[in-house]
Structure 1
Amino acid sequence: MACSAVRAPLLRNTTVRHYAAAAAATQSAPAQNLDIQVLSNKITVATLDNDSPVTQVSVTFKAGPRNETYETQGTSHVLRLAAGLTTNRSSAFGITRNIQQIGGNLTATTDRESIAYTLQCTRDKLDVGLKFLEDVATRQVFKPWELNDQIPRLRYELSSIPETTRVLELLHKAAYRKGLGYSLYSPKQRIGKIGTENLQHFVNTWFTGPRCAVVATGVSQEQLNKFASQLQVGSSESSGEPARYFGGELRKERSSSLATVAVAVEGAGLNKEKEAIAFAILQRAAGTGPHVKWGSTSAPLYRTVATAAGKDPFAVSALNASYSDSGIFGFILTAPGNIAGTLTTAASKWLLKPSVTDADISRGKAELKAAVLYATDNSIARHESLAQQALFKGTVASPSAIIAEIEKVSAADVKNVAAKIGKGKLSMAGIGDLDTVPYVEELK
């Protein structure tokens, strides 16, 4: 049994969650038998039968930290760790042993708005694997003594979070406070306080048919429909509070020679598709760091910071995250503490008045299209893209349709969203040696 929080610091694969799902499914489905429909229990089912000998099936729910409350923070983290524990039909040992016997893999992944349980196995063993996928995703019982056994694992995860991830968690907290501001990781003060009742209430409230998508690659639509129709999920259409961006600042001093700083303004959510894609292009145009080890880049954000840094070492990247109804756009940088303040000021000046040329935008579009196509070549990334699109959009766009939507965004559209950034309210987070790092009100 395996489980992971995020595959990359910036909220999983960028082409999966924030770009691919942003494109409207306005063109025909891909040539490989892609079917999508909504069953009588309101579960969205999407299948790509590509004749692959290895099948992937995900049961994904629109539930994550943004659905928590102040008193229940950390529920999503504990829920992810509880994947594979005893259910009302199988023991933890039975689940692990049977998945191993068929050479399969069962994982749980989360982001701020979703949790996905994914089975990977050979096609001829799928019937066996689906039974245990159903158990893990919908038949949890959360026995108290098993939850207590997960506490050392929880503490280990909290102690091994990378600094870049920590600063991004602080940035979301500063920007949204609640909802999207709640962390992917449990607060330390909540360790051992998330019990059976908390988890069961969360599952009963948010693990429902209208908030569920079952997606598979290498499986027939008929077989997947049969599996999805038997899932024991509720039928209520619970809806959370709309995201509300506030802006603000959080700093965490640490004994370190480095400072990691993130600054952002409100971006665009997936409900504003064209703007979301424009921000995605702007991120690539601004620069996400060198693509060659020890190399450099001509991206404007990098050039601005490099000029301020001189010969001193640093790392900087534009960041962009689009959620269902909101988003953030900004930068994250790491540098020695003695120059971190100078670099933060320089990068913030660029952010508040971003300067990108038509050539930068053209390069950004090319990089974004390449990222979408590279994800298509990766079976795991392609599967995750299908799952997120089905869950949040109710439709699935082919790679060619996504590329077409990117092409529709003009240089003027990108410059328009760039012009709005300077009017936004800043959010800032810092961790490490922050002696020289300015406060957020000093950046305007």
Structure 2
Amino acid sequence: MACSAVRSPVLRNSTIRHYAAAAAAQCSSVTTPELQVLPSNRVTVAALDNTNPVAQVSIIFRASSRNETYDTQGTVHHIRIAAGLSTCRSSYFGITRNIQQLGGNLTATTDRESIAYTLQITRNHLDKALIFLEDVTTQQVFKPWEISDQLPRLRYELSMIPETIRIMELLHKAAYRTGLGYSLYSPKRQLGKINTETLQHFVNTWFTGSRCAVVATGMSLSDATQFASNLKVGSEDNITEIAKYHGGELRKERSSELSTVAVAVEAAGLNKEKDALAYSVLQRAIGSGPRVKWGSSVSPLNKAISSGTNTDQFALSAFNTSYSDSGLFGFVLSSVPNVAGSITKAATEYLRSPKLSDADIVRGKTTLKAEILYTVDNDAMYLENMGQQAIIKGRVYKPSDLVAEVDKLTTAEVKSVAGKLASGKLSMAAIGNLCTVPYVDELK
């Protein structure tokens, strides 16, 4: 078994959800998944009975770090680490041993709005393995001695967080402060303080039927529905607080040979689908990194910064993340300290007023459409996309339909959302040697 704080790279680029990937599911040549909401426990079920010999079943709860409080920060990190520990019906050893004997794989993944438990196993062993998936997701007991045994693993994960992940965690904290601002990783001060009662209370409060989805491939809707109907989930309908964007700045100075900076403004959430899609096109039009492995980027953003600062000693990429009711649009850069300040100022100036031709926007649309269709090629990503759509949008999209929506976007509509960046309040995060990095109030 394994667990991860972030999902697959196409859905998450440094823990970021791109709207197109969150909405993409399957191309037109693939059978459309069936979807149903169970009246008994209000669990959403989506299934695709394809010919894949490996079945995949994922139980997703719309509950994560966003639902924590100041005193319970780190709870979801602990819950993710606890995936596979002893339950009401099975021991830690029993779950691990049986999944291994059946040739299966059980993983837990989180983002800021959801946690997913996913089982992958050959179809002939699916019935036997589903018992343990149900145990792990709905029968937790969080024994104190098992939770304390996980502390070394928690410390190891915290020590191994990449700088690109750290900068995004810091940026979200600066932008939202609470809610979406709470990190996917437990603060060090919380290690050893999150107890059984805290974990069980979180599960009982947020792991409810109305916030749950069961998605499957290689499994019929009737079988998935029967499995989902037996899940013991709560009946409460707790409401998540609406995200509030504040803007601001957080800096962490370290002895480092690099400066890493992220700057963003508030963008559209998934509740504004057309704007979120336009921001996705804009990101790819501006430049989201090189398209050739080990190659350099020739995006408008990189060209503008290189010509304006007369240096190429940096790596720079635009990013866009859309959550259910808010989002961030901006850039992340890493450079040598002596030019980090000039690059940050030049990139912020470009962010405020992107200079794009019609051809750039057409290229952005083409890139986005390709990414939507590529999601079908990866089984794990395919299932994950289905789950994200079911839990957030309450439906499953056909890639061909989403591609058609991208085609409908006009150049004027993309430039319209680009124009909103000029008036947005800036959020900024910086890590490393910050000798030349400006403060947020010094950026235009």
TM range, smaller chain = over 0.9
Any idea what SS the aligned residue of 2:71 has? helix
Shift of 1:33: 5.0
Structure-2 change in CA distance of 1:168 and 1:113 (3 Å):
same
* Deviation string, structure 1 residues 310-345 (Cα, Å, up to 9, x no partner): 344210000110000000000000000111111001
Letter in 1 for 2:38: L
Shift of 1:297: 3.3
Which residue does 1:363 correspond to in 2? 363
Contact 2:27 2:373 in 1 (8 A): no
Q: Which moved more, 1:376-385 or 1:262-271?
A: 376-385
Contact 2:17 2:323 in 1 (8 A): no
Which residue does 2:281 correspond to in 1? 281
Structure-2 change in CA distance of 1:350 and 1:182 (3 Å):
same
Contact 1:266 1:329 in 2 (8 A): yes
Structure-2 change in CA distance of 1:201 and 1:101 (3 Å):
same
* Deviation string, structure 1 residues 34-53 (Cα, Å, up to 9, x no partner): 21000021000000111211
Which residue does 2:157 correspond to in 1? 157
Letter in 2 for 1:59: I
Letter in 1 for 2:19: H
Contact 1:16 1:388 in 2 (8 A): no
Shift of 1:238: 0.6
Any idea what SS the aligned residue of 1:417 has? helix
Contact 2:426 2:440 in 1 (8 A): yes
Counterparts of 1:257-406 in structure 2, within 5 Å, are 257-406=257-406
Counterparts of 1:68-87 in structure 2, within 5 Å, are 68-87=68-87
2: distance between equivalents of 1:58 and 1:44?
12
Q: Which moved more, 1:31-40 or 1:320-329?
A: 31-40
2: distance between equivalents of 1:414 and 1:140?
46
Which stretches of structure 1, 4 residues or longer, exceed 4 Å deviation after superposition?
A: 8-11, 13-17, 27-31
2: distance between equivalents of 1:10 and 1:251?
28
2: distance between equivalents of 1:229 and 1:7?
27
Structure-2 change in CA distance of 1:11 and 1:221 (3 Å):
closer
Contact 1:10 1:319 in 2 (8 A): no
Which residue does 2:184 correspond to in 1? 184
Structure-2 change in CA distance of 1:399 and 1:33 (3 Å):
closer
Letter in 2 for 1:18: Y
Any idea what SS the aligned residue of 2:423 has? coil
Any idea what SS the aligned residue of 1:37 has? strand
Shift of 1:11: 6.8
Contact 1:15 1:371 in 2 (8 A): no
2: distance between equivalents of 1:149 and 1:113?
27
2: distance between equivalents of 1:181 and 1:22?
23
2: distance between equivalents of 1:351 and 1:33?
39
Shift of 1:295: 2.7
TM-score by length of 1: 0.96
Indicate yes or no: 2:273 matched with 1:241: no
> Aligned-residue CA RMSD in angstroms?
1.8
2: distance between equivalents of 1:72 and 1:30?
46
1: distance between equivalents of 2:385 and 2:121?
19
2: distance between equivalents of 1:282 and 1:174?
23
Any idea what SS the aligned residue of 2:213 has? strand
Counterparts of 1:133-172 in structure 2, within 5 Å, are 133-172=133-172
Indicate yes or no: 2:106 matched with 1:106: yes
Shift of 1:357: 1.2
* Deviation string, structure 1 residues 173-228 (Cα, Å, up to 9, x no partner): 00000000000000010111111011101000100000000000010111111100
Question: Percent identity of the aligned residues?
Answer: 64
Letter in 2 for 1:327: G
Letter in 1 for 2:117: Y
Letter in 1 for 2:373: L
Structure-2 change in CA distance of 1:385 and 1:16 (3 Å):
farther
Contact 2:315 2:335 in 1 (8 A): yes
* Deviation string, structure 1 residues 90-139 (Cα, Å, up to 9, x no partner): 00100000000010000000000000000000000000110000000110
Any idea what SS the aligned residue of 1:108 has? strand
Which residue does 1:256 correspond to in 2? 256
Any idea what SS the aligned residue of 2:355 has? coil
2: distance between equivalents of 1:380 and 1:16?
16
Letter in 2 for 1:19: A
Which residue does 1:39 correspond to in 2? 38
Which residue does 2:413 correspond to in 1? 413
Structure 1 residues not aligned, in runs of 5+: none
Contact 1:309 1:343 in 2 (8 A): yes
1: distance between equivalents of 2:20 and 2:385?
9
Contact 1:63 1:206 in 2 (8 A): yes
Indicate yes or no: 2:183 matched with 1:195: no
Q: How many residues align?
A: 442
TM-score by length of 2: 0.96
Structure-2 change in CA distance of 1:145 and 1:112 (3 Å):
same
Shift of 1:7: 3.8
1: distance between equivalents of 2:312 and 2:354?
23
2: distance between equivalents of 1:28 and 1:159?
40
2: distance between equivalents of 1:379 and 1:166?
28
1: distance between equivalents of 2:202 and 2:341?
42
Structure-2 change in CA distance of 1:176 and 1:264 (3 Å):
same
Structure-2 change in CA distance of 1:379 and 1:406 (3 Å):
same
* Deviation string, structure 1 residues 285-304 (Cα, Å, up to 9, x no partner): 01011112343333211112
2: distance between equivalents of 1:31 and 1:368?
20
Any idea what SS the aligned residue of 2:100 has? helix
Q: Which moved more, 1:155-164 or 1:14-23?
A: 14-23
Which residue does 1:428 correspond to in 2? 428
Letter in 1 for 2:243: A
Which residue does 2:19 correspond to in 1? 18
Structure-2 change in CA distance of 1:292 and 1:416 (3 Å):
same
Contact 2:262 2:331 in 1 (8 A): yes
